Amino acid sequence: MLKGSMTALVTPFKGDEIDLVTLRKLVDWQIEQGSHALVPVGTTGESPTLTHEEHEAIVAETVNAAAGRVPVIAGAGSNNTVEALRHMRHAEKVGAEAALVVTPYYNKPTQEGLYAHFATLHDSCELPIVIYNIPPRSVVDMKPKTMGKLAKLPRIIGVKDATGDLARVSQQRISCGEAFLQISGEDATAHGFNAQGGVGCISVTANVAPALCSELQVACMAGDYAEALRIQDRLMPLHQAIFTEPGLVGVKFAMSEIGLCSEEVRLPLTPLSDGTKELVRRALQHAGFLN
């Protein structure tokens, strides 16, 4: 079962090219630090600005580097059902354990359209699917009733919930059943999400603080919410600083500050402002990563 701290991996760049050497090092480090799964080429992996060939290379490299030590949940979403199916079939071919499929963005499908999109992907590929529901980015919100219908399909196994609405966890337990995996997509509320019935977090902050994010999730799984809250207090300034501007830009800068990878991002994203850089540095100090 997918659970615990699952890192939404950044895509490192070197100049205009993806940096697969650094990616392999990050995969090894993430696993050594206790991450329970890896999620390449999601939004944090800058999927909107990758070519199909780059997307596929990153998924394959992540699977190869992980070498079965932890599950790989491959980003495979698109607002084009045919394109999403291409990504899913490639992820299945190279050995990913599951696909993370975002609700189609920009073209704003109805609830019926959302169901048809995911049902088509389910019926056309054997890879298990985690629905990614993130209304602030996709401008559509998959309602618990629709998710409940999809949960009846055997390979629709869970949701990455980035609605920010903790009541959704209880609502989705009713509509989807207790076995349906509910995974937080928001670092700042992951502690509370688990208390409502979640089983983990697909985390941006875990790129720079994998051990702490893992320890928080392990404490939650053990029912020790007091210990998890102590860790959350240590991480909260970092969560907030990273997301002051787009989160992948913030976390790449944080990673560069402790020597993990370059802070390079692709346009239309731009480097952090000086003020936000200082917020990130102070948060890294609060968490114990910088003196």
- For the segment 81-98, the average pLDDT, to the nearest whole number, is 98
Q: Are 228 and 192 in contact (CB under 8 A)?
A: no
105 is catalytic: no
Residue 210 neighbours by CB distance under 10 Å:
22
CA–CA distances in Å: residue 280 to residues 104, 172, 187 = 32, 34, 15
Amino acid letter, residue 159: V
DSSP 130: E
93 is catalytic: no
Residue 259 neighbours by CB distance under 10 Å:
6
Q: What pLDDT sits at residue 291?
A: 83
Statement: residue 1 has pLDDT above 90: no
- For the segment 35-45, the average pLDDT, to the nearest whole number, is 97
Q: Choose, from 3, 160, 252, 277, the residue flagged as catalytic.
A: 160
- For the segment 52-59, the average pLDDT, to the nearest whole number, is 98
pLDDT digits (tens, 9 = 90+) for 157-184: 999 999 999 999 999 999 999 999 999 9
- For the segment 199-217, the average pLDDT, to the nearest whole number, is 98
Mean pLDDT, the chain, rounded, equals 97
Pairwise CA distance, residues 76 & 262, whole Å: 25
Amino acid letter, residue 98: A
Q: What pLDDT sits at residue 84?
A: 97
Backbone angles phi, psi at 2, to 5 degrees: -75, 125
- For the segment 107-116, the average pLDDT, to the nearest whole number, is 97
Q: Percentage of residues in the chain with pLDDT exceeding 70? A: 100
Burial of 267 (0-12, 13-18, 19+ CB in 10 A): exposed
Any idea which residue has 């090219």 for tokens?
17
pLDDT-based confidence at 16, cuts 50/70/90? Answer: confident
- For the segment 195-219, the average pLDDT, to the nearest whole number, is 98
Statement: residue 272 has pLDDT above 90: yes
Which helix or strand (DSSP H or E) is residue 139 part of? Answer: none
Pairwise CA distance, residues 172 & 226, whole Å: 25
What is the model's pTM?
0.97
Q: Are 145 and 162 in contact (CB under 8 A)?
A: no
Closest CA to 287 of 209, 198, 227, 224: 209
CATH number assigned to the domain with residue range 4-222, chosen from the 4 options 3.30.70.380, 3.40.30.10, 3.20.20.70, 3.40.50.2300: 3.20.20.70
Q: Choose, from 3, 132, 252, 277, the residue flagged as catalytic.
A: 132
CA–CA distances in Å: residue 108 to residues 82, 124, 264 = 16, 22, 31
